[in-house]
Structure 1
Amino acid sequence: MKAHELFNAADPALVTQMLDWFRDNDRNVYKSAVATLAQSKKLRLVFIQKKPLGEQYAWILKTLRSKQCDTIGEHLLQAWFMAGNQEMLAKFCDAMGIEHDGKGSVTGDLPTEVDAAKLDGAVDTLVGAYDPKVVTLYLNVFNLQRPGGWDTLTAKLEGDSRLTLA
């Protein structure tokens, strides 16, 4: 799934959780994202900033659901996971045997293949410790890191009933 497809499929509450995290923890990323999205729609930033927060979020989600905002959406998702969900990323990397910096940022090469048994264990661990919707979103974003994704991960996302976005 591309980023705009993820935003179309995701529970709006999950997107709200992400946007709240940025507003609380990294306002610069939030402001930059809103400015870039506004510019992509040929709107002035102040037009969006004057809206009540709920309307801002609804507008952001609507805009991120469009194909033309794929790159912005993917960057937002990556930033949220890399800064706001480091523990989960590190657990995934550990379970998959992927070298990382202790915060979930991969330090070596991404694997060429994903071992199904390791993936099953990693998913079990993550779903047991975190919101399954967040886990599902992360696994989809991880799958975007390689052109075409990994067949094993794609099959897991499609076949495991715990891994739903809505």
Structure 2
Amino acid sequence: MSAQTHLPSLLSRTGAVSALTIAAVGGSLVLPGGAPEAHATAAHATKALNVAASKKGSPYRYGATGPHRFDCSGLTLYAYKKAGKKLPRTAQQQYNRTRHIRASQRQRGDLVFFQARGYVYHVGIYAGGGRIWHSPKTGSVVKLSKIWSKSVRYGRVR
């Protein structure tokens, strides 16, 4: 039996057990909001980023959600759906649904929202190095681009 299997008996005999004790016997401690959730979020973000990158060259089409054509929010919706996360349809709705983070906290796979006059008009997936995967506009394709504006906000998909 593993230390995790013995954890309930440890708790019942001593009434309490510290995280250090659990670690010392080779167990793991899972708390809401702890590392396993953070790891799952990071794994989903990495998968979504990889899905978006795999769509390089796919044509832009207004309102399209894939698998061969995309608009900006259609690409993020598609990528995160393939990663096991559900997002709403539009860039503004996606912004409203994500956990807002500072630029200093951004990680690969986070969403990058472009704003003008308080309105979100574009979204992409952060690729690192100040770049995003996105589907920019009619006549263009899914591509990796440098973030071109300072009027951006970042969101982490939960």
TM-score interval, smaller chain = under 0.3
| TM-score computed with the length of structure 1 as normaliser | 0.23
| Higher share of residues assigned strand | 2
Larger Rg belongs to: 2
Higher helix share: 1
